[in-house]
C-alpha cells in the first residue's frame, strides 16, 4: 500500500493490529449468518475436540448466540468450568471457490478462550471474551458441506481479564481434593458463543481495516481516514461521503489510502436530548481500485462528526458542556445470560430513551458491536471499559494482557462517535503501592493510540488512599452511601456524598463522575416508613443523592450514573437470592418505582440548565 506523510494538527493516528471490520454487505461482499441451533457437548478434560461425533449421547442442541449456562436443566452445565464444544454444518456455493474470493468467519464474542476448527483442521485461536475476531477459512473451505467446530474454555486465571482462580482443597470428608473455581467479578460469569457468528466474503485484495478520526473547527467538519488493504502492492482508492438521506456530500481520491475530508456545512453528531438533532451519521463509502482502475472492493462505514474536550471542571461535546445522565449496565437477560438478542437490545434502547438517559457504561467489559451501533445512531454516550474488573494484582503478566486488550479495544471502537471515554478498569485495588505505576503506564498506552478522548478508570478506593487516580483525565468513583456504608442511614447521604465529591475535585482539579450509586430492592416489596430492600427505600436513597448532585453540578461534578439499569444474575451466595437487585428495572425489563423517579429527574435535567434545576421540582 502506498502511503504519504500527512501532517494535520487536530489528529494523531497510530497503527496497530488486532481489530476487524463489522461484516457489512456491499457490491463486493456477501454475508451468511451461522446463528441457530448448534450441536454442543460439555468436556470433562483438557483435550481439544477437532470434530464432534454427532451420535454421541451427550451431544445436545445449543442456541448461538447465547450463553450455555441457563439453557438446560442440568446444574453441571450451568456451573461448568472448563471446555465445551460447539459444532455446526454449513454449505458453501461454488462461487465462493472461484479463485477470486476470500472467505472469513466473524465472531462477535466468545467467552473466553476459543479454538476454531474447520473440517477437523485448526484454523485459529482467540483469547478474550468481549471483543470480535475474525479468521480466514479460504484454504480449508470446500464446495458444499463444511463442519465448523469451536472449542471454548471459560476458565479465567490470575493473568486473564477478568481474573479468576482455581483452588484444590484437601478435606477430611473426601478422598478426593475439592476443586473450587472463582472469579473476581461481582456478576455471573456467563460463557459460550455469546455473540453472532457470520461468514463473509471479500475479493482477493480487500479493505481489511479502516482508521477514522473526526473533529470540527470553525464551523467545518473533518474526517481523517487511513485505509489498509493488507497488501504491499499499490492500490488507488476513492472515498465518498453521503449524508443521512444518502445525498452525496464530498469525495477524495488518489493513489494514497490516507487523507482528510473537509465538510463545510457539517451536521454534527450530538447526544440524545441535547437540544440538537441526535446521532447524525454520515456514510463513508470506500472504493478500492486495481491496476486497471476497476473496482476491487467496496466497504461502507457509518461516521459521526463530533469533538470531545475537557477541562478541570467539565466535559464538552462540540464545545458545549455535557452532563452525563446515565446508568451502569450488564449484558444479562433471562435464559440467554450474556447472549446477544435483538429483542433485548431493542427493549433496552427504548427503556434508555424513556428514562431520558444520555449515557451508559458497559460494565464491566466491551459490549456487542450491534449494541454500540445503536448507541451511535441514537446519540447515546458510552464510557467504554476493559474487562479488568476488581484487579487484585499488578505484575508483568497481567499488565501485558491488559496492554493487549486495551489496544485492541481502542483499535476496534475508536471510530465510534458514541464512545466518549476509555475506562481502564473497574474497582481495582489501587490502594496497593504498585498500582500507581501500573495505571500510569496504561494511561500512557491509551493516549498513545487516542489523544482525542479522556482516559479514566473507576475506583472504589477513598481519595486519601488511592494511588492511581491522579494519573487520569477524569475521576470516576463508585460509592454506596446508606447501603454498604452506614446502611439504613438515609439522613447522612447528602453530606457524605457531597463531601466526597468535593474532596476528589479539590484534590485533583479534574471532572468527577459518580459512576455507581444505588440500593437493592425487591420488586413489589414496600414499607412505610421505608426500610432497606423495599422499593420505597430505593426511591428515598436516590432522592437524597439528588440533593447533593444539584449543589455540585457545574462545580466539578460532570455526571451521575445509577447502578444498575436492570437486576442481573450473580453467583450463588447466602446474602443475595441469585440477583443483584439494584436495577431500575427487573430482569424482565419492567420498571420499579425508582425508574419513574429517575425518569422524572433525567427529563428535567435535559430540559433545564444545571443552574436552574432543583430537586424540589420532583
CATH code of the domain covering residue 559:
3.20.20.80
The question of whether 588 is a catalytic residue gets the answer no
Q: What is the CATH number of the domain that holds 237?
A: 2.60.40.10
pLDDT value, residue 52: 96
Residue 532 lies in a domain: yes
Rounded mean pLDDT, 357-373: 97
Say whether both 364 and 482 belong to one domain: yes
Using the CB atoms, write b or e for 314-341: b if 16+ within 10 Å: bbebbeebbbbbbbbbbbbbeebbbbbb
pLDDT in tens, 395-444: 999 999 999 999 999 999 999 999 999 999 999 999 999 999 999 999 99
Residue 16 lies in a domain: no
pLDDT at 17 over 80: no
Residue 286, CA distances (Å) to 12, 61, 236, 297, 418 in order: 21, 41, 11, 8, 22
Residue 322 sits in the same domain as residue 266:
no
Give the least confident one: 86-95, 125-134, 221-230. Answer: 221-230
**367 near 346, Cβ under 8 Å?**
no
Strand order in the sheet with 36-42: 60-64, 36-42, 83-92, 144-153, 113-118, 121-127
Question: What's the pLDDT score for residue 236?
Answer: 86
**Residues 240 and 377 placed together within one structural domain of the fold:** no
My answer on whether 419 and 536 are in the same domain is yes
Q: 221, 260 in Cβ contact below 8 A?
A: no
- Do residue 135 and residue 235 come from a single domain? no
Return the SS3 of 94: helix
Same domain, 481 and 572: yes
Q: What is the rounded average pLDDT of the residues 318-331? A: 97
Candidates 385, 427, 500, 560; catalytic one:
427
In a domain, 165, yes or no: no
Report if residue 478 sits inside a domain: yes
Q: Classify the C-alpha dihedral 170-172-175-180 as positive or negative.
A: negative
CA 607 to chain centre: 29
- Confidence at 233, pLDDT banded by 50, 70, 90: low
- What is the helix (H) or strand (E) element at residue 558, kind and residue range? strand 557-562
For residues 380 and 301, membership in a common domain is answered with no
C-alpha cell at 233: 502492492
Q: What is the CATH number of the domain that holds 78?
A: 2.60.120.260
Pair (477, 587) in one structural domain:
yes
Is pLDDT at 367 greater than 90 in this prediction?
Answer: yes
Residue 319: the pLDDT is 94
pLDDT value, residue 549: 98
Rounded average pLDDT over 79-95: 97
Structural domain boundaries enclosing 455: 309-617
In DSSP notation, 434-480 reads THHHHHHHHHHHHHHH-SSS-EEEEE-S-TTT-SSGGGSSSEEEE--
The answer to whether residues 299 and 347 belong to one domain is: no
For 229-323, list the strands marked E by DSSP. 237-242, 248-254, 258-263, 282-289, 295-303, 308-310, 315-317, 320-322
Per-residue model confidence as pLDDT tens digits over 182-216 = 887 889 999 999 999 999 999 999 999 999 999 99
Tell which of 306, 337, 364 closes a domain.
306
Averaged pLDDT for residues 537-546: 98
Last-in-domain residue among 168, 202, 236: 202
Per DSSP, the chain holds a count of helices (H) and strands (E) of 8, 34
What is each CA distance from 234 to 100, 226, 292, 293, in whole angstroms? Answer: 18, 14, 12, 12
Do residue 496 and residue 607 come from a single domain? yes
Last residue of a domain, one of 256, 282, 306: 306
* Mean pLDDT confidence for 296-305: 96
Does one domain contain both 436 and 536?
Answer: yes
Grid cell of 70 as nine digits: 441457563
Q: What distance in Å separates the CA atoms of residue 204 and residue 19, rounded to the nearest whole number?
A: 19
Please tell me the total count of domains within the chain.
Answer: 3
- H/E element holding 121? strand 121-127
β-bridge pairing 324-329 and 359-362: parallel
Q: Which of 36, 334, 339, 333 is nearest to 194 (CA)?
A: 339
Separation CA 540–CA 356 (nearest Å): 20
Residue 60: pLDDT over 90: yes
Whether 168 maps to a domain, the answer reads no
Distance CA(433)–CA(431), nearest Å, equals 6
178 located within any domain = no
CA distances to 15, 408, 564 from 412, rounded to whole Å, are 12, 6, 26
pLDDT of residue 258: 86
Q: What is the pLDDT of residue 9?
A: 34
Secondary structure E strands in 161-217:
164-169, 178-183, 192-193, 197-203, 209-217
Flag whether 18 is in a domain: no
Same domain, 413 and 447: yes
CB 578 within 8 A of CB 570: yes
User: Is the residue at 315 inside a domain?
Assistant: yes
Amino acid at each position: 500500500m502506498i502511503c504519504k506523510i500527512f501532517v494535520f494538527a487536530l489528529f494523531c493516528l497510530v497503527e496497530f493490529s488486532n481489530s476487524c471490520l463489522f461484516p457489512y454487505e456491499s457490491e463486493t461482499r456477501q454475508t451468511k449468518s451461522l446463528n441457530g441451533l448448534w450441536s454442543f457437548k460439555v468436556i470433562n478434560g483438557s483435550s481439544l475436540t477437532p470434530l464432534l461425533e454427532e451420535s454421541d449421547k451427550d451431544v445436545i442442541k445449543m442456541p448461538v448466540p447465547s450463553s450455555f449456562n441457563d439453557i438446560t436443566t442440568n446444574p453441571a452445565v450451568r456451573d461448568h468450568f472448563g471446555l465445551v464444544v460447539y459444532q455446526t454444518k454449513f454449505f458453501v456455493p461454488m462461487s465462493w471457490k472461484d479463485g477470486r474470493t476470500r472467505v472469513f468467519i466473524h465472531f462477535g464474542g466468545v467467552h473466553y478462550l476459543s479454538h476454531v476448527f474447520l473440517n477437523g483442521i485448526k484454523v485459529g485461536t482467540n483469547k478474550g471474551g468481549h471483543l470480535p475476531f475474525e479468521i480466514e477459512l479460504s484454504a480449508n473451505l470446500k464446495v458444499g458441506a463444511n463442519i465448523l467446530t469451536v472449542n471454548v474454555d471459560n476458565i479465567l486465571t490470575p493473568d486473564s481479564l477478568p481474573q479468576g482462580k482455581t483452588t484444590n482443597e484437601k478435606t477430611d470428608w473426601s478422598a478426593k481434593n475439592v476443586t473450587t473455581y472463582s472469579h473476581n467479578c461481582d456478576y455471573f460469569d456467563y460463557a459460550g458463543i455469546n455473540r453472532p457468528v457470520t461468514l463473509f466474503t471479500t475479493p482477493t485484495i480487500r479493505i481489511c481495516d479502516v482508521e477514522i478520526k473526526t473533529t470540527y473547527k470553525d464551523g467545518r467538519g473533518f474526517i481523517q481516514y487511513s485505509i489498509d488493504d493488507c497488501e504491499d502492492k499499490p492500490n488507488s482508492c476513492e472515498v465518498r461521503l453521503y449524508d443521512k438521506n444518502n445525498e452525496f456530500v464530498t469525495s477524495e481520491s488518489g493513489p494514497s489510502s490516507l487523507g482528510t475530508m473537509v465538510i463545510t456545512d457539517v451536521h454534527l453528531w450530538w447526544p440524545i436530548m441535547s437540544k440538537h438533532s441526535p446521532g447524525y451519521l454520515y456514510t463513508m463509502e470506500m472504493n478500492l481500485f486495481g491496476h486497471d482502475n476497476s473496482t476491487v472492493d467496496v466497504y461502507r462505514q457509518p461516521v459521526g462528526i463530533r469533538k470531545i474536550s475537557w477541562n478541570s471542571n467539565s466535559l464538552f461535546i462540540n464545545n458545549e458542556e455535557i452532563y452525563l445522565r446515565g446508568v451502569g449496565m450488564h449484558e444479562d437477560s433471562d435464559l440467554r445470560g450474556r447472549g446477544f438478542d435483538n429483542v433485548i437490545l431493542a427493549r433496552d434502547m427504548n427503556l434508555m430513551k424513556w428514562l431520558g438517559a444520555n449515557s451508559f457504561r458497559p460494565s464491566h467489559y466491551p459490549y456487542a458491536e450491534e449494541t454500540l451501533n445503536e448507541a451511535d445512531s441514537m446519540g447515546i454516550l458510552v464510557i467504554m471499559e476493559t474487562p479488568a474488573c476488581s484487579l487484585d494484582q499488578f505484575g508483568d503478566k497481567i499488565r501485558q494482557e491488559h496492554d493487549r486488550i486495551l489496544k485492541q479495544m481502542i483499535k476496534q471502537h475508536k471510530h465510534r462517535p458514541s464512545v466518549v471515554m476509555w475506562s481502564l478498569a473497574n474497582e481495582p485495588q489501587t490502594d496497593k503501592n504498585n498500582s500507581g505505576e501500573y495505571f500510569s503506564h496504561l494511561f500512557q498506552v491509551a493516549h498513545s493510540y487516542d489523544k482525542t478522548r479522556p482516559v479514566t478508570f473507576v475506583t472504589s478506593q477513598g481519595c486519601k488512599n488511592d494511588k492511581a487516580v491522579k494519573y487520569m483525565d477524569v475521576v470516576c468513583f463508585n460509592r454506596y452511601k446508606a447501603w454498604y456504608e452506614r446502611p439504613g442511614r438515609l439522613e447522612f447521604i447528602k453530606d457524605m456524598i457531597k463531601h466526597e465529591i468535593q474532596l476528589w475535585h479539590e484534590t485533583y482539579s479534574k471532572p468527577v463522575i459518580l459512576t455507581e450509586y444505588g440500593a437493592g430492592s425487591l420488586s413489589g416489596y414496600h414499607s412505610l416508613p421505608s426500610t432497606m430492600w423495599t422499593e420505597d427505600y430505593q426511591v428515598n436513597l436516590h432522592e437524597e443523592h439528588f440533593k447533593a448532585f444539584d449543589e455540585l453540578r457545574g462545580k466539578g461534578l460532570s455526571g451521575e450514573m445509577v447502578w444498575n439499569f436492570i437486576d442481573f444474575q450473580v453467583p450463588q451466595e447466602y446474602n443475595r437470592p441469585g440477583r443483584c437487585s439494584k436495577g431500575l428495572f427487573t430482569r424482565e425489563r419492567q420498571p420499579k418505582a425508582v425508574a419513574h423517579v429517575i425518569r422524572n429527574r433525567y427529563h428535567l435535567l435535559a430540559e433545564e440548565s444545571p443552574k436552574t434545576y432543583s430537586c424540589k421540582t420532583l
